[in-house]
Structure 1
Amino acid sequence: MPHFSRRTLLGMTAAAPFTFGALAQAATPADAKFEALAKGWVDASLRLSPVGATQIGDHRFDDLIDDMGPKGRAAVVKLATETLTALQATPRAQLSRANQVDAAILENQVRSDLWTTQTLQPYAWDPLTWNAVAGGALYTLTAREFAPLDVRLRSATARMERLPAFLAQARANLVPARVPKIHADTVVGQNKGLHSLVDGIVADGAKLPPADRARLEAAAKTCKAAIDEHQKWLETVLVPAAKGEFRLGAELYDAKLAFALNSPLSRAEIKTRALAEMTALRATMYAISAKVLVGKPGAPPTPQSPTEGERQAAIEAALEFAYAKKPPRTKLVEAAEACLVQATAFVREKNIVTVPNDPVKIGLVPEFQRGVAVAYCDAPGPLDKGQQTYYKISPIPDDWTDAQADSFLREYNSLGIQEVTVHEAMPGHYLQLAHANAYPSVLRAVLSSGSFVEGWACYAEDVMADEGYLDRDPLYLLVHLKLQLRVCANALLDQAVHVDGISRDDAMKLMTVQAFQQEREAAGKWVRAQLSQAQLPTYFVGWEEHKALRKQAEAKWGKAFTLKRYHDGILAYGSPPARFAGQLLFDLPIA
């Protein structure tokens, strides 16, 4: 299916117009032709992915579900091929600078769509792609109040009526022998979570007129039976037969990485930079740890020129003081809410960047999405004005032992939750995506760059620490640096898993020893690295790119540089790959 931004986007109205390019620039004939091409691609892509359309904010297809079978895939290939041919005939030099960027982004995407559909073929071996559409079909209709409840419930009813056929299509297209066991095991848990979505819709259905309520309840009953049938197939057919290889291998990985990053950085360059950054971060952490441990009973030695063992012991000992500050296992949301208030006040006080007024709410990750990431930002889409942003946190599973919960809370201690809140909300994803949604190009919003978005959130963590957040508490700085160390480890882990064949033991050593992660965090990341490809490096690559852009602005503007001028400026172009944002901001050739 066509790619849409990873974040969940909801729209305001099907009649909302699509606008392309920078509105202040007069369109040339070449611009007009390109904008028609771009509009046509967006429209056709949304028709091919009704669930994606709901996410973006086009509600013409809220009663439909994607066709991910042979006919739907053939339509994706046809659209991508025709769009690529038209793009190759487009005189890029005659386009406005904004449209040159959009043309480059669109070309990268249609090439990715062709490669993904024809070569990678996730529809045949990754059941999580099917589950994402099945869950998203219902979740996107219930998460936000983009339309009256009765309208959304009628759409949900229609989709529940179509879900049995969609799940049957999944069973017909998945090839159990090609499915990796980790993917099969994960989808077994996620599929069960679909029940809670249906139950929530049924509960809201009590507000419908009798005829609509009766149809909804009948659809829900049939849908839940289909979910149970699919669950039985997953457990009795897919899991036993799942023998696929979760590692992509160099050729597939490098291709996916290039499309995901849309950056000139190669896999080898990413590895070299990440290793160097890890070394520098560990040195800084040791210097802070040495100060933290002064006068502490039983503290390990902190010589000026430590051995690797001495450095490791000192940092681990200092981090223990941060781990001691942790919330109760049932109070993660409340802890994050307090952090959000504190971080927002600090950003305003320091005049770091313009703070949006869009609403943001913290809640738990829905069941059907659990098992991959600990936290994420679920932002509204470009056509969804004034709707809620959600900062979601995965709860500690009820079946975890106290020791497992303690391991998790040591990682996500009170200072760690501060850092996660900075990343996911303020001034990280929530703030950046609110700025991005103000940019007029819907094409650019639909095809937002993961490395720009994730890189900004990592860079935002640096800004807060540099500006003195939490009064430069050395324990907070240690946790901050530890989480940036995780960014480096993510990039190294991803290619080590999919290309280098790293074992679980060695992967755990990278994360728990080199990056000081707790066992539960590292175990979860090992699963995530097997389930995803080329997403974990987006944090590091984007972080590197944002740091470089900041240095470029400081050098170019000199005494005229201010944080707010730079941040408002770089966030004013949506979420394109970072090099394009810099080229637009500094008036450089688009390349």
Structure 2
Amino acid sequence: MVGRVGRVERFQVVGERVVEALLASRPGVARAAGDHRFDDRLPDFSADAVAADRAMLADAASVLCEVDVDALELEEQVDHALLAGLVDRELFELTEIRAHEWNPLAYNPGPLLHAIVARPYAPVDIRLTALAGRLAAVPDALATARATLRDVPHIHAETAVGQFTGAAMLVRDEVPALLAQAPALSNRIEPAATAALAALDEFVAWLRTDLAADAGPGRDPRLGRRRWEARLWHALDTELGAAEIQRRAWANLDRVTEEIRAAAVELVGGPADDETVRRALDLLAAEHPDDHTIVDLASITLDEASDFVRAHDLVTVPDDPCVIQVMPQFARGVAVAYCDAPGGLETADVPTFYCIAPTPADWPARRAESFYREYNDHMIRNLTVHEAMPGHFLQLAHARRYAGSTRVRALTRSDPFVEGWAVYAEELMVGYGFGGLPVRLQQLKMQLRMTLNALLDQLVHAEELPEAEAMALLTERGFQEEGEAAGKWRRALLTSTQLSTYFVGYSELAEVAAERPQDVPLRDWHDEMLAHGSPPPRHLRTLLGR
């Protein structure tokens, strides 16, 4: 429990108690924040642990309600709102969504194991000691999963088979390499690794036997309007309602369609219509990487984008390391790329990972070709802007430098802020000429994709949009390759509300950026926007005095 307090107790004390309770109960939150004290743990979804967690969250919510918010300084008022919002969201997830009862991906140990193996945040013996504890926890965690999971959606079971197989590959291939640096710990690591591998293999077999295709489709992965809108409210922390978001998205789709038609005419000539857009995009799609060259291309584009940001003085570029690598197998199946940055509590000099997924080995040549037509040379430049420079990598590097009176900002990362900044960064870069007309066309295509993400999210979960209509919407209005559209359909079913964060976050962050005072240089305004952690955009307005 967090512990009761009187109204006069300072928020710093209350906030730190709640933060500590959240870190201790959520190894994934602690990992993301950069707190390594709990690196020997995995999430515990046993009945007793879930009941204790629910009680802790309810107590934390009650304690935070007792704080006299009006007596706080502005920064602490925002911290209080962020922490209360996080507690409420976690309580909602635990009591209403209850993903641990139907989503096997909630039990994937891969990210938490990889965090120890991949980042040298401490001497190898310390990391291996933590790894031994985490590996030893895998059998019980997966036993809990088998006892708890019921009516699993087919698409989640199918994705989990791939991800848990990837987690087993990590244990087989990467743990021995780390252990070779400290062989004296073999007696602790090897038995735990053997037991973890057996549990992972058994869990994959269980998924394949009981939850895959032969067992039927399982639970409908769509949340339904009531639960989806409630989850959206928690995810976005905005005053915009679902109906207004949809209205704005349709209007933005029409606006960007006209812009991409005009840009296509600049490139290939002809009338300003969809056929001209397809001719222009086909021309650009022909220039693309493959599985062997995509990481090297991303590295080149990161250097290009970094030089461009500095040359145009767009925002301060921190001197932090960024490593581009192939996406680990345990993380694949949801998104094509991601940025994995150290958290605000991290004290070691460790890199950010910009990860890109190559095509699966079992894909036919035609499907792989379609993938790389979508992620062509020019789209990779735009993707690198989004994921790295000056998108996620740069923004999260700035966020880590925020220091407040509590650790709240290190735990609370608003997806609309993070994704909104990255989409805004794409528009900013092409506005200054990065990549020329080819990248501008891809960025406009990404604007269409971002807008369609929000529509797809709502239409799938709240209005039961059929797959055929979704595919038509994505391929026709979004000009997407069939493989990209199919992947986005899967992602909409595997997730909910996250796809809305791009459009809503961009809309709100772009408005804040446009309010730059005339006497403030662009770089200074961007630095100020990024100087407060990753708060929801509405709180950023407050912090900027807007």
TM superposition score normalised by structure 1: 0.88
Give yes or no for the alignment of 1:451 onto 2:424. Answer: no
Give yes or no for the alignment of 1:99 onto 2:62. Answer: no
Aligned counterpart, 1:203 = 177
2: CA distance between counterparts of 1:271 and 1:123?
30
Give yes or no for the alignment of 1:168 onto 2:130. Answer: no
Aligned counterpart, 1:21 = none
Instruction: Give the aligned CA root-mean-square deviation in angstroms.
Output: 1.5
Give yes or no for the alignment of 1:230 onto 2:225. Answer: no
Q: Aligned to 2:327, which of 365, 377, 395?
A: 365
Contact 1:508 1:523 (8 Å CA) reproduced: yes
Secondary structure of 1:169's aligned partner = helix
Alignment deviations for residues 18-72 of structure 1 (CA, whole Å, 9 cap, x no partner): xxxxxxxxxxx98962111111111111111234323322222222222111122
Aligned counterpart, 1:19 = none
> Deviation at 1:118?
1.2
> Deviation at 1:291?
2.4
Q: Aligned to 2:158, which of 185, 192, 198?
A: 185
Q: Aligned to 1:514, which of 464, 467, 477?
A: 477
2: CA distance between counterparts of 1:34 and 1:122?
32
Aligned counterpart, 1:267 = 242
Q: Aligned to 1:432, which of 395, 404, 418?
A: 395
Contact 1:51 1:62 (8 Å CA) reproduced: no
Give yes or no for the alignment of 1:469 onto 2:434. Answer: yes
Give yes or no for the alignment of 1:33 onto 2:6. Answer: no
Aligned counterpart, 1:254 = 229
Q: Mind listing any 5+ residue stretches in structure 2 that lack a counterpart? A: 1-5
> Deviation at 1:365?
1.0
Aligned counterpart, 1:562 = 521
Secondary structure of 2:40's aligned partner = coil
Amino-acid identity (%): 40
> Deviation at 1:242?
5.1
Contact 2:457 2:492 (8 Å CA) reproduced: yes
Structure 1 residue identity aligned to 2:254: T
Worse-matched range after superposition: 215-224 or 186-195: 215-224
Structure 1 residue identity aligned to 2:231: K
How many pairs does the alignment contain?
535
> Deviation at 1:238?
2.3
> Deviation at 1:157?
1.5
Aligned counterpart, 1:84 = 61
Give yes or no for the alignment of 1:584 onto 2:543. Answer: yes
Secondary structure of 1:494's aligned partner = helix
Contact 2:153 2:219 (8 Å CA) reproduced: yes
> Deviation at 1:516?
0.7
Aligned counterpart, 1:527 = 490
2: CA distance between counterparts of 1:242 and 1:41?
40
1: CA distance between counterparts of 2:286 and 2:208?
40
2: CA distance between counterparts of 1:417 and 1:193?
25
Worse-matched range after superposition: 414-423 or 514-523: 514-523
Structure 2 residue identity aligned to 1:409: Y
Structure 1 ranges of 4+ moved more than 3 A: 29-32
Contact 1:31 1:94 (8 Å CA) reproduced: no
Alignment deviations for residues 530-559 of structure 1 (CA, whole Å, 9 cap, x no partner): 000000010000000011112222xxx22x
Worse-matched range after superposition: 88-97 or 482-491: 88-97
Structure 1 residue identity aligned to 2:37: R
Contact 2:8 2:67 (8 Å CA) reproduced: no
Give yes or no for the alignment of 1:290 onto 2:265. Answer: yes
Structure 2 residue identity aligned to 1:33: R
Aligned counterpart, 1:12 = none
Aligned counterpart, 1:356 = 318
Contact 2:89 2:234 (8 Å CA) reproduced: yes
> Deviation at 1:346?
0.4
Q: Mind listing any 5+ residue stretches in structure 1 that lack a counterpart? A: 1-28, 295-300
Judged with a 3 Å threshold, the aligned counterparts in structure 2 of structure 1 residues 55 and 283 are, in CA distance, closer, same or farther, namely closer
Aligned counterpart, 1:18 = none
Judged with a 3 Å threshold, the aligned counterparts in structure 2 of structure 1 residues 191 and 358 are, in CA distance, closer, same or farther, namely same
Contact 2:345 2:410 (8 Å CA) reproduced: no
Structure 1 residue identity aligned to 2:176: V
Spell out the pairing of 1:529-544 with structure 2 (5 A cutoff).
Answer: 529-544=492-507
1: CA distance between counterparts of 2:378 and 2:202?
44
Aligned counterpart, 1:158 = 133
Aligned counterpart, 1:44 = 21
Give yes or no for the alignment of 1:486 onto 2:484. Answer: no
Structure 1 residue identity aligned to 2:332: R
Structure 1 residue identity aligned to 2:527: D
2: CA distance between counterparts of 1:321 and 1:187?
37
Secondary structure of 1:397's aligned partner = coil
Spell out the pairing of 1:5-44 with structure 2 (5 A cutoff).
Answer: 33-44=10-21
Contact 1:31 1:95 (8 Å CA) reproduced: no
Aligned counterpart, 1:218 = 191
Structure 2 residue identity aligned to 1:215: R
Secondary structure of 1:384's aligned partner = coil
Judged with a 3 Å threshold, the aligned counterparts in structure 2 of structure 1 residues 206 and 517 are, in CA distance, closer, same or farther, namely same
1: CA distance between counterparts of 2:428 and 2:7?
40
